[in-house]
Every structure is written in structure tokens, then in C-alpha cells.
Chain A
């Protein structure tokens, strides 16, 4: 190389320039997907599990010819992000696992109305009473337990009991999960704030803390915890992966009408600042269509109950009409602010 200084000197920057051009081209290439802002595309902030979102999006794209740009994330994080973005937000549609995030956006007046005939596709108690968000799917809160670690007869009757001394060191929970906070709110509705806080503090001494429900299911399955509190679909998802034979953990229910049997709703809404409201409405309509709801119920990836009447749930889960949830409307769950306050006060966050 030192023998040909001339050639080096001329070719090196040349090559560098080529590389820079190439890099710039790639950069712009990567950007086009993000900034293609024609009417034939919408941006979806999706807090639900990515695979079911993809299933849904692919079917919608095929049917409507509208491209959906998905920004995956956790529901609460995406809601916060939309609030921080303000009216500049690129999001059209916000789809999330739990309604409190939707309520939070609604409280900040960030949601547009859902088309009435879309709302009419599902029973009204699962959507916003003001029509600003739409219930799509539902699932129930359950106990998961390891029969080798605890006898079925010794399981608690109420969610409240998880905080009692009998279950010290045996419980697994994931208090940062979006699914846990609605339980806290429901508890506060049923038993009052003071008792809820006491319950949370008891849980803090009793429980092992995990980041997500998958962690709870696995902990119970491998015996590091005797029982845990989860939304049921995590159980089926983990079982699907672990294999039914290796799945030692079982599902159990609290007493009929207990807060522990709470039904959580996956909901969707259109942002007031949505750049493409018409396309967004089409997407919502599709989500509660017979096609989409049947497809989701039959997939082995979601295990949620379709809210559109007349569509059978996945054969692995218990029939929807056999559930014994507490008498609490999803609208009453509100946003998570109280739940977060209590959980933090108890030292769980």
C-alpha cells in the first residue's frame, strides 16, 4: 500500500464517497416505509401481542388495500407516548390490551368517535359509554397453580386472600403488567382504597415479583412459586410452547363474582388527531367483523374471547357464558392513575 501512494490517495476517498452514498440511499430506503403518507395507509400503535396484530393487519391489508404501519409496544407506554406527541402524533389508531389506557386518552380528549354501526357490532357494555372506544376481544383473570406445590383445595377463594399469611412466599404476580392494574381498580371499587392498599402491602410481603405474566406462568410451572395471578391467555400461550405434557401448572378460578375473575377487554380507538380517519374507521370496522373475529378465535396465538356475538371462542378456553366475573363495567375501571398510585404506595413499583 505504501508503494502506490497515488492510487491510495485517489481511491480511498472515492470508496468512502461510494459508501456514504450507499449509506444515505439505504437510510432513505428505510425511511420510505415510515413516511409514505398517502391516504392508502394508516399508522397503528399496537399494544396487543405482535403476532395477533400481524394476523389482523395482514388480513385487513389484503381485504382493503390499505397499508397498516404498525408501531408495536406496551399499551400504557404507547398511550403515554401519544400524549407526549400531542396533536402532532402520527398515530391513527390505538389498539391495546386493556381499557384504562383508552380511558386515559379519552380523559385527555384525544379520542375521536367510533362509527355507530361499528360500535353496534359488539355488546355495548364492552365499549365506551361515550362511544369513543371499541371493545374487540376479552379474557378473564385467573389463578395459575402448580399441583405439586399446592393442593387444589388449599387455593384461595378470593383475590383478597393472596395477601393472607397462608400464602406467604408462594405467590407470583407481575404488578407492572397492564393486566394487573385493572384488578387493583376493581378491588378499590369493591372494597375501598384503604383495604386495597392493605391488600397490596400484603402482596408485597407474600409475592415474588415478575415483569410480565409469562414470567409468572413459568415460575409456577417450574415450581419457583406455588400459585400466581394472571390473565388466562398467557397460560394457553405458554402451554402452546411448553407442550401440554410438560405443563404442570393448572388454571383455577376464584369464587363466583370475586374481583379475581375480572374480565379485561382489549379495545381500540381512533385518535382525534388521526391523519387518516376514514381509513382508520375501516380498520375498526374490520376488527369486529365476522371474518376477523372468527380468524382470531380460531388462531392458536391469542386465546381471547371474540366480543362479536355468535362467534365461538377457541376450543381450548372455557366458554364465555360460563365465566363468573364480578359485576363491574369496563367503563368503571377508568384509567390506571389510582391503581398506579396504590401499587407504588405499597412498594410494588
Chain B
């Protein structure tokens, strides 16, 4: 979406007022935003390299880091391969076969994205503690994040001209050979891109691994912090993690340009002929059902089960009251709304400039705002703790700092969705408005803003969902005495009080799925991915 195809790029360049310099105010705002986004990275790197070089190197080349690398990368590879295969099979079944109810599956398949991984982990963990460890972590994280691979794959598969496979058949290839030689190579960019995105999520995931007690960089950073170790140690771990994340991000961004394989020749495509599965329909159904059950069915059913087991709340003291649930829910919603609005407001100047002005400075600013995608929440949170303790003490432990942290972490979501709509406004419209005698600000208020409204709306909604389901940053930065749904689920379930966690998990799942559904309905399914 953010790196358009050559065709589209050419079109928008032609339309952009190249000779105009971007408005100074917007440019300054955008620079400020990118500085904000860069701050946690800078603080982390600074904390890590502080002190003697020898000491830093000694800390860096510790066996623990090797162990963490092995753990983290191993899990990432397992999840990537597992999700890749599952997604490929699902995408093919749903888009190209006559599996019963494919149109329903199409709606169900991306659903796990709306359910936070740490909520799924809570659910699986409450079934049996044996889901703790590498196998459980791989299962839960793959089940939660496979749509990151599935969605681009399914889209790519939908975009392929079915005539290509038919042509290959008429040139003497069997169905399997045609798929392997014609379809699969064209799915590769989508498959790779999605997989890298998934790996990025595995690298930055915190809550699921913490609950399932699997040691990766994020949980090790948290546990170094918990052990009261020097800031430097956590920061060094964070730097190694940042390096891995940026590697993925870089790869993923590079692949994005290649997505448009399918777009030679315009015109209407025929609906692809669905392959008949015959007897295979039953195993196919079982397969889809299993994936969906693991990803969504089991977590929701488990939450439902614990909701009915009020007697089993023995593990909790504070018998969860309705008033408490409502208070905590509103707190989550409040943070979500506040962060949604702030993030959207901060993202606007960047996205608008990026859509309009194609010069190096603007490009650099825009790229910068994508970086937080590769910065785990826990890293941002720790950096902001340091920053607020040393420079911004009035903000320390305030809601404002937490909302600011959210804004940094979810800036990429907002920039991408605003940019998408801002890029569609023809500059001619604004010029026409100016010619009609309306001032610069008037044009902004009466033309630009209303036309970008869908993008602003989807940005706010996306950030809202993400904030509600965010855990590590919230844990570290939340004001004393305040709670959100995520922190309550965390508090109860990390102490095995599963029944006590259930109401919060249920509300969180409901809010998140409802918001995702509204978002998909209003702004198109692509918005959710």
C-alpha cells in the first residue's frame, strides 16, 4: 500500500505539484513527529553503548544472547514455515477450490488477527499448563498471526488471471505442474512479504511468550528489567532485537514493490473456475475447521467456559465486580480513543506530505515513521521511562506519556491508512478550490480534510484496536492505580486466576472483534491487514 507499483507511482508523480515546496508548518510538524518516533530508538542505542566499549562487547557476546537468538530465530522459523504452509493451503482452498462455504471461510479466515495473541495464550494456558514452552508458543503464535501471510496470499491468488493456469494446462502441464510453475512463482512476493511480517510479529510479540513462559528477546528484556539489572543490559538486548526487526522490516518493504506481478494487462478477469475437490472436500473442511478452531474457536470457548465458572474464582480475592469490569473497560476505551486521535493527528502531516510531495526530505520523514513497526513495545516503553525520568519528569507515570508511547508505536498504522486516502485526492481539486477564491486554510478545512476523512477514520479505528490489545507498554507506563483490560488479563492469568481473567478477556475480545468488523465493513477488508 505504501510503496506503490511503478504504474501508480508514475501516475501520482505526474499529478503531484513537483515545483511546489511543501508548506513550512506541515514540514516542521512532520519533522517533529519523526523526531518523536526516533526518540525511543535513539535512547535505547545510547543506553546500550554507554560506558566502556570492552564492557559493552562483553555484555553483547554473552552466551545468554546466543541462547536467546537461537530461541527467537528458531521459533520464528517454525512459525514462518508452519503459517506459510497453512496459509497457502487455506488461500488455495478458499479462493480456488469448491470447498463448502468458501465465502464464509473467506470472512472467518482473517478473524484471528482481531484476537490478541496474549488472550489466545491465556486461553490455551488455562486449558493446560503443558502449552507452556516452545511447542505451545509456536502453536499459539502461528494460530494468531497466520492471517498476516494468508491475507496477502489470498489477495494475490484472487488477482491472478485464471487464464494463466489454463494456458499452462493447454501447453501440456498437469494441474499440479501448472500450479507449481505458473501460480506459485507469482505468489512468492506475497508469501515472502507476509512471512517476513509474521516473523516481525514473532520478534516483537511479548504477552503471548511471557504467559507461555517462552524465552525470547522481548521477555528477556522484560525479565532483565524486572531483575533490576542495569538499564544498559536491557538496552543491549533491545539493540540486538532491533537489528533483527529492522532486517525483517527492510526485507518486507523491499518486497512490497514486487507485489504487482499480476497487473499486466488491464480489463476484466473472469471469475476463476473452482477446482473440484471431490472426496477431498471433507478433509479440506476438517483442515479449515481445525485451523479456525485453534485460532479463534478454542480461545473464545475457553473464555466462555471460565465465564461460567464463577465458583472457580478461588484464585482471586477481588471477586471481579461488574463495576470494576465497566471501569476497566472504559479505561481501555479511553486510552484507545485518546491514542487514536493523537496518533491520527500526528500522522496527518507526514501522510499528507508523503502523498503530495515527492522529494527526498519528505521521503526520509515518511520512512522514519514506519520504523516503529520494527520496535517492540517493551523497548519503546523502557526508553520512555528513561526519557521521562531524565528529561520529562512532569510526564513520568502520567497517562499523557502512555498515550504518547502508543502514538509512537502505532504511528505506521496511521500514516499508511491516511496516506492511502490522501494520495487519492487530485491536486486539481485543491487548485480548483483556490481558484474559487477560498484561502489555503479554507481549502484544507473544506476540501482536503473531508476527503481524507475515511483515512483518518480508519487510522483512528486501527490505532484504537491496537491500543486496546497492547500489553507491554501499558504494563510499564500505565499511571499508578490505573488498569486496562489488557493489564487485568495479564495480572490475573499470570497468577493462574483464569476465571477472574475471563470477563476482561471477553470484553477485550468483543471490543476488538467489533471494532475490526466495523473497520472492515466501513473501510474495506484491506484496512484490517
Find out whether A and B make contact in their complex, taking CB atoms under 8 A apart as touching. yes
The interface of chain A, by Cβ under 8 A from chain B, is 1, 5, 8-9, 12-13, 16, 19-20, 22-24, 26-27, 29-31, 33-35, 43, 49-52, 54-55, 58, 69-77, 79-81, 84-85, 88, 90, 101, 104, 176, 178, 181, 204, 209-212, 214-215, 218-219, 221-222, 224, 237-238, 240-242, 299-301, 336, 340, 344, 347-349
A84 to B446, alpha carbons, bound, how many Å?
49
Query: When the two chains form their complex, are residues A34 and B480 in contact, meaning their CB atoms are under 8 A apart?
Result: yes
Partner of B481, one of A16, A71, A211: A71
State whether the Cβ of B63 lies closer than 8 Å to any Cβ in chain A.
Answer: yes
State whether the Cβ of B258 lies closer than 8 Å to any Cβ in chain A.
Answer: no
Query: When the two chains form their complex, are residues A50 and B495 in contact, meaning their CB atoms are under 8 A apart?
Result: yes
B212 to chain A, nearest CB (A): 9
Query: When the two chains form their complex, are residues A301 and B317 in contact, meaning their CB atoms are under 8 A apart?
Result: yes
A178 to B226, alpha carbons, bound, how many Å?
9
Most buried by A among B317, B385, B446: B317
Stretch binding the partner chain, chosen from B190-198, B243-251, B398-406: B398-406
Query: When the two chains form their complex, are residues A74 and B227 in contact, meaning their CB atoms are under 8 A apart?
Result: yes
Contacts of B480 in A (CB 8 A): 34, 43, 69-71, 90
B286 to chain A, nearest CB (A): 28
Bin the interface of chain B by size.
35 or more
Looking across the interface, which residue of chain B has its beta carbon closest to that of A296?
B317
Q: A8-B450, A12-B450, A69-B481 are in contact. Are A347 and B317 (CB under 8 A)?
A: no
Q: A77-B228, A211-B210, A222-B132 are in contact. List 11 more A-B contacts (CB 8 A).
A: A27-B399, A30-B482, A51-B491, A58-B318, A71-B481, A85-B389, A90-B397, A176-B227, A211-B215, A237-B315, A301-B497
Which B residues between 306 and 349 are near A, CB-CB below 8 angstroms?
314-318, 330-331, 333-335, 337-338, 340-342
A12 to B492, alpha carbons, bound, how many Å?
41
6 A-B pairs with the lowest CB-CB distances in the bound complex, closest first: A76-B228, A69-B481, A34-B479, A26-B334, A74-B226, A241-B496
A31 to B223, alpha carbons, bound, how many Å?
28
State whether the Cβ of B410 lies closer than 8 Å to any Cβ in chain A.
Answer: no
Contacts of B224 in A (CB 8 A): 176, 349
State whether the Cβ of B453 lies closer than 8 Å to any Cβ in chain A.
Answer: yes
Query: When the two chains form their complex, are residues B213 and A218 in contact, meaning their CB atoms are under 8 A apart?
Result: yes
Q: Per DSSP, are chain B's interface residues mostly helix, strand or loop, or mixed?
A: helix
Partner of A76, one of B226, B342, B453: B226
Query: When the two chains form their complex, are residues B227 and A26 in contact, meaning their CB atoms are under 8 A apart?
Result: no
A215 to B211, alpha carbons, bound, how many Å?
10
B315 to chain A, nearest CB (A): 6
Query: When the two chains form their complex, are residues B215 and A209 in contact, meaning their CB atoms are under 8 A apart?
Result: yes
A152 to B315, alpha carbons, bound, how many Å?
30
Contacts of B400 in A (CB 8 A): 27, 31
Looking across the interface, which residue of chain A has its beta carbon closest to that of B491?
A50
A60 to B192, alpha carbons, bound, how many Å?
56
Query: When the two chains form their complex, are residues B228 and A301 in contact, meaning their CB atoms are under 8 A apart?
Result: no
Contacts of B213 in A (CB 8 A): 210-212, 214-215, 218
A221 to B130, alpha carbons, bound, how many Å?
9
Partner of A238, one of B225, B330, B496: B496
A174 to B411, alpha carbons, bound, how many Å?
36
Query: When the two chains form their complex, are residues B337 and A31 in contact, meaning their CB atoms are under 8 A apart?
Result: no
Contacts of B338 in A (CB 8 A): 23-24, 26-27
Contacts of B223 in A (CB 8 A): 176, 211
Interface string of B223-244 (1 = CB under 8 A from A): 1111111000000000000000
Contacts of A69 in B (CB 8 A): 480-481
Contacts of B393 in A (CB 8 A): 88
